[in-house]
Amino acid sequence: MDSPSQPNRDESAPALAPVRIVAFESRMAAETATLIERNGCVPIVAPAMREVSVGENPAAIDFAEHLLAGEIDIAIFLTGVGVRALFAVLDVRYPRAATAAALKRITTVVRGPKPARALREIGIEPSITTPEPNTSRELMATLANARELSGARVAVQEYGVTNRELTAGLEARGASVIVVPVYRWTMPSDPGPLRDALRAIIEGRADAVIFTSSHQVTNVIQTAEALGLGERLRHALGAVAIGSIGPVCSEHLRASGIDVDFEPAHPRLGHLIKEAADRARSIVEAKRSPRGAESLTVRPAVPLRPERLAENAHRLRHWDHPMLRACRREHASYTPIWLMRQAGRYMPEYRRVRDHHEFVEMCTRPELAAEVTVAAVQRLDVDAAIIFADILLPLIPMEVGLHYEKGGGPMVDRPIRNASDLERVPSVDVSALSFVGEAIRMVDRAIGARTPIIGFAGAPFTLASYLIEGGASRQYQATKMLMYNDPDTWHRLMDRLARFTIDYLNMQVASGASIVQLFDSWVGSLGPDDYRRFVLPHTAKIIAGIEPGIPVIHFGTVTGTLLELMREAGGDVIGLDWRVDLAKAWARLGYDVAVQGNLDPIALFAEVDEIRSRAGAILQRAAHRPGHIFNLGHGILPETPVDHVIALVDAVHEMSAS
């Protein structure tokens, strides 16, 4: 009789075929193939990129001149290869002893052991070393804890592309940043092996695919798209084991719609290959089984990292609330729902207060703002309270003559049309809007124990458009003319608005908000090129400047052509208006970001059965994927029947309950 620990074996059973591993290494292609073979697997190694020197590199020379003149306080080095390439350029013009001595006098920061090793080769011991694996946010947190950044002059060694999140985070904390490119990445000289590897994946001749950089991901996807194989590749990748070297690469994979099955315990190529050799077979068997989708555990959402966890009690007590779980792309017991303008004119509770008080008075008197905020949550049973306020409140202390005309909306008496107009606007401290913080504290005391509170602000483009146009506009002609004809004044205005908005949102967080939303109501008036040049850097600065641990919802209207750029600007949740298909929009954005939306507000005037049908269709498009927050595609309209709004909330809770 066999021992329980010695199961019967069929000695005639054929040996299992070796695991076939696809890798996209370039500089270490030969070493990668050898390591795969040593682990008993079959290598399919296809370089997906190559490094190209920047050439003359005036930016590197400019960096050296500032460094030698004592005009740089912090230098950040992101890669070992980048450190060596930078000094290869500088050594042609400056004595190495001089540049090394200048670096020793300032704070030097390295991300991981490779740039640390490269600096030590030239006799420089880094001041600050961040461990691996890490992302830009972790590096930012380590640096911010180590020294004051406000007013600091920071140089960042780039590696292939601009690290927008890092530079925006530094600028949000008051640093001035210069970027120092040293090389760029491009496609391999011979794309044949890469094309062959993609076909091997698509034809089922691979068991595992491993990635060691985000740029590999980009080039692999671009090559597949160019061959007309993009969709087939994504489908095929769902049937193999996907390995990633670490969190930066994993974030990029998920942004491309590719789930990550494993990361190594240590971010080393050898550990990644060993993990693939050990785990690929069981992962592939599960994925390719008839019930593969059910037998596999749904991939966990990327959690907020420990240094981003807020310590305030009002945030921690909502950690497992469906609203916060959705922001983190984690499974919740139902799809959370809240509605823009949920405390508005359609509600009798609001109208009773409004009958006795002007709109601005309701915003600036905390007890009135708190009253209508709480009434909406209690009446509708929504999953979040959004503080009653207005996106244009920051314009009041700017002394531009903001007022609200009955039936005509907000108006600005003294618009900003040129540099002189901007100069007369006084500097504004966030304390001028302290009444918003007090209203949040009052709401927190009333319902904060069970309901998360959303703070919000207008995005800088939307605020700027009101300041320049003098009110709402259809064409935004004055706004665009300032952008095009006087970009310096435009960027100074946007920078002032961005810096104030960071302080304003963080003040709301300190008062009790667990989430913040950035409203870019009018940014859909721009094309992608203008958004990238005139808006994206300022919006990115705001989002990077929000206190760590607080989810950010980034919302705009008529933004179907801007979604990828909004994603690049940042946000844990991207708000979708009703003009886009939620399923297609989410696929474009990537599943490593949550989405919010997107019922047409007019649908709430339909019969309840139709409302339920439309809500069900949106939930189907979300496909029960973790990270969906139900909302309208814009705010509730004034004449909307309250019972229809309640019916929508009930329907979403009922139909999405697990």
- What pLDDT, in 10s, does the model give residues 567-586? 999 999 999 999 999 999 99
Report the distance separating Cα 419 and Cα 649, nearest Å: 48
Please state the domain extents for the chain. 20-49+188-295, 52-186, 311-656
Where residue 299 falls among pLDDT bands split at 50, 70, 90? very low
Model confidence at 601, pLDDT cuts 50, 70, 90, reads very high
Q: Is the pLDDT of residue 296 over 60?
A: no
236 contact partners, CB below 8 Å, separation of at least 6 = 201, 202, 204
Mean pLDDT of 64-93: 90
Q: Report d(CA 11, CA 146) in Å as an integer.
A: 62
Q: What is the band of 82 on the pLDDT scale with cuts at 50, 70, 90?
A: confident
Weakest-pLDDT range from 104-108, 243-247, 487-491, 636-640? 243-247
Active-site annotation holds for 476: no
At residue 532 the predicted structure's pLDDT band, cuts being 50, 70 and 90, is very high
Q: What is the mean pLDDT of residues 597-617?
A: 96
| Residue 316 pLDDT > 60 | no
pLDDT single digits (tens) 497-525: 999 999 999 999 999 999 999 999 999 99
Fold agreement between 52-186 and 311-656: no
For the segment 615-623, the average pLDDT, to the nearest whole number, is 95
Instruction: Report d(CA 387, CA 456) in Å as an integer.
Output: 8
**Annotation says 466 is catalytic:** yes
| 50-53/183-186 β-pairing | antiparallel
Weakest-pLDDT range from 123-132, 247-256, 393-402, 413-422? 247-256
At residue 348, does pLDDT exceed 60?
A: yes
For residue 596, is pLDDT > 80? yes
Q: Residue 560 has which token pair?
A: 């179907």
CA distance 364 to 440: 12
pLDDT of residue 413 exceeding 80, the answer is yes
Question: Residue written as tokens 């359609």?
Answer: 346
Confidence of residue 160 (pLDDT cuts 50, 70, 90): low
The shares of helix, strand and coil residues in the chain, as percent rounded to the nearest 5, are 50, 15, 40
Q: Which of 20, 341, 379, 499 is catalytic?
A: 341
Q: Cis ω on the peptide bond leading into residue 598 (within 30° of 0)?
A: yes
Residues 265-276, mean pLDDT to the nearest whole number: 88
Q: Who wins on pLDDT, 12 or 289? A: 289
Residue 411 is given by DSSP the state E
Does residue 134 have a pLDDT over 70?
A: no
Confidence of residue 184 (pLDDT cuts 50, 70, 90): low
List the one residue out of 159, 168, 241, 187 whose CA is nearest residue 46: 187
Residue 645 has pLDDT above 90, yes or no: yes
pLDDT cut 70: percent of the chain above it: 89
Q: What is the mean pLDDT of residues 222-230?
A: 82
pLDDT of 585 reads: 95
The residue from 73, 261, 383, 390 that is catalytic is: 390
Question: Which of 128-137, 172-181, 250-259, 486-495 reaches the highest mean pLDDT?
Answer: 486-495
Q: Which residues pair with 155 in a beta bridge?
A: 75, 178
User: Among 456-470, 506-520, 540-554, which stretch is predicted with the lowest mean pLDDT?
Assistant: 540-554
- Which of these is catalytic: 346, 466, 476, 504? 466
Tens of pLDDT, residue by residue over 6-45, are 444 444 445 678 999 999 998 788 999 999 999 999 999 9
CATH topology for 20-49+188-295? Rossmann fold (3.40.50)
Q: Is residue 434 a contact partner of residue 373, using CB atoms and an 8 Å limit?
A: no
- Rounded CA gap, 21 and 3, in Å? 36
Kindly report the average pLDDT of the chain as a whole number.
87
The whole-number pLDDT of residue 164 equals 66
626-633: average pLDDT: 96
Average pLDDT, integer, range 623-636? 94
Confidence of residue 252 (pLDDT cuts 50, 70, 90): confident
Which of 66-70, 114-118, 372-376, 557-561 has the weakest average pLDDT?
114-118
Identify the CA nearest to 573 among candidates 309, 244, 323.
Answer: 323
Q: Confidence band (pLDDT; 50, 70, 90) for 80?
A: confident
Architecture of domain 311-656: Alpha-Beta Barrel (3.20)
Which of 354, 567, 579, 625 is catalytic? The answer is 354
Which of 528, 538, 524, 534 has the alpha carbon at shortest distance from 579?
A: 524
Catalytic residue among 205, 345, 567, 588: 345
Tell me which fold the domain 52-186 belongs to. Rossmann fold (3.40.50)
